[in-house]
Structures are given as structure tokens and as C-alpha cells.
Amino acid sequence: MKTRGGFLKAWHLALRSGSVWLLIGLLFTACSSGKEFQRFAKTDETGLYILRPNSPILAIYSFDVDIYRYPGHFSQGGETLAKSVSLHTGEYIYLKLTPGFYLIHLKEQEGHRHILHIRSGQTSIRSIEIFNREPFSRADIRIIELDREQAAGFLITEAGRMYAHTQSEDQ
């Protein structure tokens, strides 16, 4: 009985410290079969990068991302689905888009809507950020805008490079 109690204490300590989640995250990113990030798209190209940086938090889940395009201004509504992808941790996608208003929707958070305006010759970069305040709290998800330097920090890290989604248009 003492051995079992010691094992349970060690297991709870490992869970609380996050080392188990880190191990799971590394396992899933090591199993990725996509191409590694090489370079950004041309600076005058109109497009969108969506990154899901390596994170041990929710690493085993893929996030379903829907990208809708508005025919005019977003306040008029009428958006249509332009692309639907599933991103894993350590994965990114680049999409060549026409200028206009777009909506990024994460199926994991029904009420979350991220609207962006992409201008001609502009490449926009967004990152799906996952964080939680306590070890066993529900993780919050948000989409944030990054500049090229911040994105490069995620795309090319000390642990390696992020992998391109199979539908990424930057290869």
C-alpha cells in the first residue's frame, strides 16, 4: 500500500508540474509529417498565416478553424465559408486570399469571432493562443495578431520549426 500511495503522489506532482503535458506535447509534435517552415511568403503577396504554436496545453486536441469571407463590409453580414482546416499543435497554415474582410472562427469556442481586414499586398499573421491560469482550470483560447518577428519566434524555435498544414499554400 505504501508503494501505491507513493506512486499516486508522484503522479499528481508530475501532473501539477506540467511535465506530463510537456511530454505529451512533444510526442505529438514529433509525430507530425508535414513540411517544416522554410520562409515567409513574399511581402507583397495578399494572404493569411494562422499559427498554432507548440504548447503542452491541449496538445492532444486539434482545433477546427473556419475562415469566412464577407462579400463587402463585415457589418453587412452574408459571410461564406472560404476554408476549413484542423490545426494541431506546432502546425501553421498559409492561405492566399483576395483583399477584403474575413472572419476566423474556432469551433471550440462558439461565441469567439475574430474579424480581420486584409488589404491588397498585405500578409496578415494570427496565432491561436491557449492559456490557463491554474493547473486544472479550463483553458482559454484567443486569436492574436503577430508581426513577422513575433511569428518567426514561433515558426523557428530552439526546439525546431513548425510544420506546414497539408493545405498550406506557401510551399
Beta strand ranges found along the chain (DSSP E): 47-52, 63-69, 80-87, 91-96, 100-106, 113-118, 123-131, 140-145, 156-157, 160-161, 163-164
- Each residue's pLDDT tens digit, 73-130: 999 989 999 999 998 888 889 999 999 999 999 887 776 789 999 999 988 989 888 7
Spans of all domains in the chain: 47-164
Class of domain 47-164: mainly beta
- Each residue's pLDDT tens digit, 46-64: 899 998 887 766 667 788 8
Opening angle at CA 15, ends 9 and 21, nearest 5: 155
DSSP state letter for 75: G
pLDDT surpassing 50 at residue 32: no
Return d(Cα 88, Cα 117) in angstroms, integer: 25
- Between residues 75 and 29, the one the model is more confident about: 75
Size (the chain), residues: 171
**Cell numbers at 124, concatenated:** 496578415
Return d(Cα 71, Cα 167) in angstroms, integer: 23
